[in-house]
Amino acid sequence: MSSKDWIEKDYYAALGVPKAAPADEIKKAYRRLARESHPDHNPGDARAEERFKAVSEAYAVLGDDAKRREYDEMRSLFSSGAFRRGTRQSGQPGGVPFDVSDLFGGAQAAGGRFGGGNISDLFSSVFSGGGGGAPGPARGRDIETEVALDFDDAVHGVTLPLSLRAPGVCDTCHGDGAKPGTVPRTCPVCHGAGATNRNQGAFSFSEPCRNCQGVGTVVDEKCPECHGTGGVTKTRTLNVRFPAGVADGQRIRLAGRGEPGERGGSAGDLFVHVKVRPDEVFGRTGDDLTLTVPITFAEAVLGTDLRVPTLDGPVTLRVPPGTPSGRILRARGKGVSRRDGQTGDLLVTLDVVVPARISDQARAALETFAEQTPPAAREHLDARVRRFG
Ligand SMILES: [Zn+2]
Ligand SMILES: [Zn+2]
């Protein structure tokens, strides 16, 4: 049994009972009709068989209190026209015309999502607020955007104006979609109701008017600005505060800064994806900044004091005599400081550079140095070198 069956089939009519019939009356009616139309009593009678099926189907729903309640609820929603949500009549442009057949096509295609699920779940997700009458408030949509920050700004925090393009009401026609000087005309098909009644068997239910897509009015001369849609894309500017220490790939949520809600619903959220532009000299690992500093062989051997930059001015780092290439020195508290007081360090990697060309004097000095220096310890490699002769 599909959800659409529930909309289209009048189970009360199938059992010949009033909608308010008590449970035992429904049971009695079912027993009588089932007996009369039972295939055993009507061999070869296709119409009786059809009738027997319809009666059984109706009783499967109306004979079960919970199912009967859901069935009643759903049909009162449909006959009240509660599905006419998001139409332009509410003054909000860009509403998506709601099509019953789309809903059920989608629900059935979705299979696992709605198939076999509780029918009232489906409807509570379709009609926000549920119940009969007018559609309830609708929360505005979330907006996602991306911002590229300079390295320093990400470390120290920054406030930036952000331009957002989002749908809004057309200023030329104030959302009705009609050319200025003209007005939308009442839809001749639904007479402004936005919905039409369709007869299906013993009862009728309403569906969105196909002529006006449920809006209730038609526009003869379209607004040149929005081409009759009533909505345009607008740009608004928002000052966004990026906290100190914001990192590349981080997502910042600004509650209520998304699209406005409809009919008193709350606004959506704004999500800002942060990209941090790389710095020319500093790198970053979490809250630590990284920096590579080239030093000469002599500086590594003899030791030296290095002036290195940080994001807040230079500091002096002591390189002790005999420092190997690749050693990392730590400048405490010179990394990223967050508002909660957590602070990273600056990690300085020493890189001993080898000159490609040197003067004759330097060469002579180096040859003297080599004579005075024991060879590097490579004994642990000798066995492996000899293995290949
Ligand atoms: Zn209409
Ligand atoms: Zn317009």
The phi and psi torsions of 360 (rounded to 5 degrees) equal -60, -40
345 and 226: one domain?
A: no
298 and 227: one domain?
A: no
Digits of tens for pLDDT over the chain (389 positions)? 455 677 778 888 888 888 888 888 888 888 888 888 777 777 777 888 888 888 888 888 888 888 888 888 777 766 655 443 333 333 333 333 333 333 333 333 333 333 333 344 334 333 333 333 445 677 888 889 999 999 999 999 999 998 887 777 788 888 788 899 998 899 999 898 888 887 777 777 778 888 888 878 888 899 998 888 877 888 888 899 999 999 999 999 999 888 877 667 788 899 999 999 999 999 999 999 999 999 999 999 999 999 999 988 999 999 999 999 999 999 999 999 887 888 999 999 999 999 999 999 999 999 999 999 998 889 999 888 888 76
Ligand 1: centre distance to CA 85 (Å): 14
pTM to 2 decimals?
0.50
258 and 155: one domain?
A: yes
Ligand 1: centre distance to CA 98 (Å): 13
292 and 271: one domain?
A: no
Percent of the chain with pLDDT over 90: 35
Ligand 1: centre distance to CA 190 (Å): 4
CB 349 within 8 A of CB 288: no
Q: Which ligand is nearest to the CA of 221?
A: 2
Number of structural domains, the chain? 2
**Residue 171 within a domain:** yes
CB 318 within 8 A of CB 305: yes
Ligand 2: centre distance to CA 259 (Å): 19
**Residue 202 within a domain:** yes
306 and 251: one domain?
A: no
Ligand 2: centre distance to CA 97 (Å): 18
- The domain of 292 spans 283-387
| Confidence at residue 263, expressed as pLDDT on a 0 to 100 scale | 63
CB 283 within 8 A of CB 289: yes
CA distance 316 to 361: 31
CA distance 328 to 349: 4
**Residue 260 within a domain:** yes
Ligand 2: centre distance to CA 93 (Å): 10
Encoded tokens for 167: 């749908």
261 and 361: one domain?
A: no
Looking up residue 227, the CATH number of its domain turns out to be 2.60.260.20
Q: Which ligand is nearest to the CA of 189?
A: 1
Last residue of a domain, one of 278, 308, 323: 278
Ligand 2: centre distance to CA 216 (Å): 17
Q: Residue 381 to residues 113, 307, 389: CA-CA distances in angstroms?
A: 65, 38, 13
274 and 291: one domain?
A: no
258 and 162: one domain?
A: yes
CA distance 210 to 194: 9
| Confidence at residue 3, expressed as pLDDT on a 0 to 100 scale | 59
| Confidence at residue 291, expressed as pLDDT on a 0 to 100 scale | 97
